[in-house]
Amino acid sequence: MPSYLGAIGTANPVHRIAQPQIADFMAQALQFGEGDTRKLRALYRVSGIEHRYSVLPDYGRANGDYTFFPNTPTLEPFPSVGQRMAVYRREALPLAIEAVRSCLRQVPDVAPASITHLVTVSCTGMYAPGLDIELVQALGLRPDVRRTCVNFMGCYAAVNAVKLADAFCRADADARVLIVSVELCTIHFQKSPEEDHLISNALFGDGAAAALVLAEPLPNGAPSLALQGFHCGLEPDGHDDMAWHINDFGFEMTLSSYVPKLIQRGIRSLTDGLLASLPVQLGDIRHFAIHPGGRKILETIETELGLTRDDNRHAYHVLRNYGNMSSATVLFVLREVLAHATPADHGAPVLSFAFGPGLTMEAMLLQLTVNNEPLAVSSERTGDEVMLESTETVLVTAH
């Protein structure tokens, strides 16, 4: 039997900043002239993003009065890694707690002390004793809860966390796995006019998501997603086009304009590889949960797989209202899928993708469960390959 992902909770910092305000901050910080400022504002207008959230109020204050960056024309001395990690350590825990509480409120029958596994996910900050131990203490989890940290893998990391949770539940029918992803991308602003940095500065925001994975559907009958299959693809030619490095002044994201072309080249084979061993075809799938790495990435996938913008509506909603929150983002999209599920969707397949450094492309196949009846599916897994036999209907892909 499959394991089930459901009860997804999310949280964002209090500072909700409009995209044009952030563009004004960036133009001033980079000391752009009129021509470059006009181009930068155009980049922000076509990003598909209206608002982003940040733990820092500074991005909404183009005229100074900053709380984190120095109040100098050049923002010098520019904040160090240590200063940025101090912000992460102060802000990550309360944001993660808010997301977990949002998640567990949906399943009042699941007490924190009944959680058997905790998987934390982040690529924007690290310390030890870390977020995992702090969450155990803050949430009242058992001291012997089994903790796993998925760190520094980028935007696709939540899929690896889901894979771990699935393995735990398949090994132990009593497992209750809590996944917590928290990303504070905006603390790593890089004051550089290089194209890669301009693009990343235009996309990333802060957020947290928490999800519960069980060996059976949620006990209160709420919609959930049966985990049916996973597949990973690599495009080594993109090794230098999407990368994440720790430098003297924060974590530096490389995100080149060539990334959509790399995804275009590999997305069809990724999809075929996922569906090859499953009794479902791409034409059967009407629900999608695609990581909105950027507007161009979504449009490229639509073209290659024959999807419509409406097929991708949940990804566009998250992109428009939150931007790219790295690993937490795909969980935000899956939350939208669950929130809009109806009884008629029971058994419907959901296809999901996420992307990150490598260039890594991850795919997940899920199946919507909306009437609290376990799906009649048997499976055997070897690595990421899944062999399934369905006695009912179709399967779901989610990533």
* Cis ω before 131 (30° cut-off from 0): no
Q: What is the pLDDT of residue 240?
A: 60
Give the CA-trace dihedral at 144, 145, 151, 155, to 10 degrees: 180
Sequence-ordered list of residues with C-beta below 8 angstroms from that of 361, at least 6 positions apart, any chain: 156, 232, 233, 234, 235, 263, 266, 267, 270, 353, 354, 355
> Can you say how many angstroms the Cα of residue 120 is from the centroid of all Cα atoms in its chain?
13
Long-range CB pairs of 263-268, under 8 A, 24+ apart, other chains included? 263/235, 263/297, 263/300, 263/301, 263/355, 263/359, 263/361, 264/300, 264/303, 264/304, 265/235, 266/233, 266/235, 266/359, 266/361, 267/300, 267/301, 267/304, 267/305, 267/353, 267/361, 268/304, 268/305
Q: Which residues of the chain have pLDDT under 50?
A: 376-399
Q: What is the pLDDT of residue 220?
A: 74
Q: Beta-carbon neighbour count of residue 46 at 10 Å?
A: 11
Q: What is the pLDDT of residue 396?
A: 27
Q: 203 near 49, Cβ under 8 Å?
A: yes
Spatial distance between the Cα atoms of 158 and 121, rounded to a whole number of angstroms? 7
Active-site residue numbers?
155
Domains recognised in the chain with CATH numbers: 224-390 (3.40.47.10)
Look up the pTM and report it: 0.90
Q: 334 near 181, Cβ under 8 Å?
A: no
Place of tokens 């808010």: 98
Q: What is the pLDDT of residue 375?
A: 54
Q: Tokens for 180?
A: 């917590």
Spatial distance between the Cα atoms of 278 and 25, rounded to a whole number of angstroms? 49
Q: What percent of the chain has pLDDT over 90?
A: 71
Spatial distance between the Cα atoms of 37 and 17, rounded to a whole number of angstroms? 19
